[in-house]
Amino acid sequence: MSSLERALARAVSVEDLRRMARRRLPRLVFEFIDGGAEDELTLADNRAAFERRRLVPRVLVDVSAPDPSAAILGRASALPFVIAPMGSCTLAWPGADLALARAAAAHGIPFALSTMATIGIEQLAEAVPGRLWFQLYVLRNPDANARLVARAEAAGYEALVVTVDLPAGGKRERDLRNGIAIPLRLSGRHLIEGATHPKWALGMLRGGMPEFVNVRGLLGDEGAGLTIAARVGQNLDAAFGFDDVARLRERWPRKLVVKGVLHAGDAARIASLGVDAVWVSNHGGRQLDGAVAAADALPRVAAAVQGRAEVLVDSGVRRGIDALKARALGASAVGLGRAVLYGAAAGGEAGVRRALEILAGELTLAMKLAGTPRFESVDASILDSSRG
């Protein structure tokens, strides 16, 4: 067993993997992953919203063989997890997008590829046999959107996830101070941080500078050197609306997911358009600082959808029990972002697998201790209603 394998085996929580990632990465890269918008109020509240929920365990229930499987977009999934779309993952580990997708396939869960990934739509589909979703950032150029959607369809992606909470890029002050930009422009400070983290720097040198390969030639301003949030934000269609979702529903022949929903009224209208899932998210606290925590918005969204579409949720998931709480609040599955990216940063694909093992183990243990033998049978009755 290598030293990395031993270190990963000693990690018993996502927080342990986060600490490993923090040690391995230069500060500016770790803060790009770890940070949120402005004062990071929503970032903190996402976690607090899960933590303040309490369960009321049932007893004298046969929990000898807990079943954590779930139906996600109408298909069986070994676990109620989806690896959420994340851009620029290769800053954490060379080839991180591929590592995340392979780990997801190994655990029998879907993986969503970001428009702003650093691996091609077709390349990933050829390399990974698992359940692949493609996440679309709606660009101002409709021809560019059509090309991306057509590529995902031709490559056999199971679902299209259209992100609707990004009419502009959030103000991520850590990135502004640290100078995290695409394309990377290395300052003296960056070089010093790289030199003090030689394993990370060597991996970057071998892998080459990250590039948004799926939108090559579509964004313009190729040498802008903008922060990643600003680079994405200035190219998005801020006029994208409900009618556009309806047209996308007509165009896309497979499962359609709308991601970034917090308002119950929006959720109800989106569900009426015939989408397959509404994804409750505030972008992990990286967009509007002061937005409601995803777990707090979830019950209202689920009530508004009224079973017309599945409900997913992300933002703040760090423990297996969070999935149990999310199910009780109305979600069919949870999206994993930083929780698995910390694993990737700590140890590549092996680190992602370790993160998923930890979360799966925590979930099945929580199910036993809560007296809930089947994940899909969990409902609001296990929540302590006195705590909101």
Average pLDDT over residues 126-134: 97
Q: How confident is the model at residue 182 (pLDDT cuts 50, 70, 90)?
A: low
* 3-387 belongs to CATH 3.10.129.10: no
Indicate the residue type of 377: S
Summarised one tens digit per residue, pLDDT across range 296-343 is 999 999 999 999 999 999 999 999 999 999 999 999 999 999 999 999
Summarised one tens digit per residue, pLDDT across range 6-27 is 999 999 999 999 999 999 999 9
Query: Of the candidates 334, 225, 342, 359, which has an alpha carbon nearest to the alpha carbon of residue 281?
Result: 334
Residue 291 DSSP symbol: P
Query: Of the candidates 82, 44, 91, 157, which has an alpha carbon nearest to the alpha carbon of residue 331?
Result: 82
Q: How confident is the model at residue 234 (pLDDT cuts 50, 70, 90)?
A: confident
What is the pLDDT, as a whole number, of residue 226? Answer: 42
Which residues on adjacent β-strands are paired with residue 227? Answer: 181
Catalytic residue among 107, 190, 197, 283: 283
Question: Is residue 190 annotated as a catalytic residue, yes or no?
Answer: no
Q: Model-level pTM?
A: 0.94
What is the pLDDT, as a whole number, of residue 206? Answer: 78
- The percent of residues above 90 in pLDDT, for the chain, comes to 80
How confident is the prediction for the chain on average, in pLDDT? 92
Q: How confident is the model at residue 223 (pLDDT cuts 50, 70, 90)?
A: very low
What is the pLDDT, as a whole number, of residue 233? Answer: 63
Per-residue pLDDT at 2 exceeds 80? yes
Measuring CA to CA, how many Å separate 338 from each of 137, 301, 343, 385?
19, 23, 8, 29
Residues 126, 49: Cα–Cα separation, whole Å = 39
Average pLDDT over residues 101-107: 98
Summarised one tens digit per residue, pLDDT across range 261-281 is 999 999 999 999 999 999 999
Per-residue pLDDT at 225 exceeds 50? no
Residue 293 DSSP symbol: P
Poorest-confidence range of 78-92, 96-110, 222-236, 260-274? 222-236
- Beta-strand pair 70-72/75-77: antiparallel
Summarised one tens digit per residue, pLDDT across range 142-169 is 999 999 999 999 999 999 999 999 998 8
Q: How confident is the model at residue 96 (pLDDT cuts 50, 70, 90)?
A: very high
Residues 33, 82: Cα–Cα separation, whole Å = 18
Tell the residue number behind the tokens 């394998």, with chain if given: 5
